[in-house]
Amino acid sequence: MRDTGEVSTVTAPDPLLTAAVDVARAAAEEEAPGLVGEHLGVEADDERVATHLFATLDPAYRGWRWAVTLVRAPRAKVATVDEIVLLPGEDALLAPPWVPWSERLRPGDLGVGDLLPTQADDPRLVPAFFATDDAEAAEVAFELGLGRRRVLSFDGRVDAVERWYVGDQGPEAPIARAAPAACATCGFFVPLVGALKQAFGACANEFAPDDGKVVSVDHGCGAHSEAVVVPSSPSPPPPLVDEYGIDVVGGPLGHEPGSVGDGDTAEPFGHS
């Protein structure tokens, strides 16, 4: 008799049903022997319909209550048990509210072999201008880029643009801010076709972190095709040796200091 959806105007429970606590308790005890606690009260559900509430002693259902609904036929002098259920009280332990899978789903949740049906009224899609059951016409349409039953709607495009532009492949990504130039001028940038081509393309540089991903025209990275070539490092200079603090025992020509030939001047090794 509970949760019928009908609004009851009865505020006071039927006196006969209110007094039938023992009837309600006996019914609850029959349902859960030894697990029915103190009487918590009685509520009016409707005319000649009332529910007695008892605490449950079951430790697995802390805060729950036995609800025993009694009814009485018009002019009847006895209460009849209508329903016995265990209901959560205010401090009952409850599972979190159930959330439909379509609201729980997050980007990246789809795994191998999973199916993700798209709703018929998905706002991201609109019917295509050309969809036919004629196989020949469909083949031609497919070659022309037509023939799909639904295409991206304006809302779907806006969602994608916002998602891509503020993401890791947009202009504000750290790698883009440090890039020497934007993707728009890169030889590895492959523009998209259609409505998004002015703002996005695909990166086709296998050495770029965004290879194979959609990037915005003002994204960029250090693998830009026109990045300045770094010149090779110059050869290191010969080592400088301080010969004023050491005894030089041999020169590059095998001369002993002071035994050079006529006209020669003994120069320290490494000095010009």
Please state the φ and ψ torsions of residue 139, each to the nearest 5 degrees: -65, -45
Is residue 203 a contact residue for ligand SF4 (CB under 6 A)?
A: yes
Helix residue spans in the chain (DSSP H): 15-19, 21-31, 101-104, 135-143, 154-166, 174-177
Residue (161 or 227) nearer to ligand SF4, CB: 227
Coil, strand or helix: which one is 1? coil
From the list 35, 55, 125, 208, which residue makes contact with ligand SF4 (rule: CB under 6 A)?
A: 208
Least distance in Å: CB of 226 to ligand SF4?
A: 9
- CB under 8 Å to 103, separation ≥6 — which residues? none
Quick check: 221 binds ligand SF4 (CB under 6 A)? yes
Q: Is 214 in the site for ligand SF4 (CB under 6 A)?
A: no
Cβ proximity to ligand SF4: between 72 and 224 the closer is 224
3 state SS of 166: helix
Contact window for ligand SF4 (CB under 6 A) among 36-44, 140-148, 150-158, 221-229: 221-229
Residue from 186, 200, 214, 216 touching ligand SF4 (CB under 6 A): that is 186
**143: buried, middle or exposed (CB in 10 Å: 19+, 13-18, 0-12)?**
exposed
Residues that bind ligand SF4 (CB under 6 A): 183, 186, 188-189, 203, 205, 208, 210, 215, 219-221, 223-224
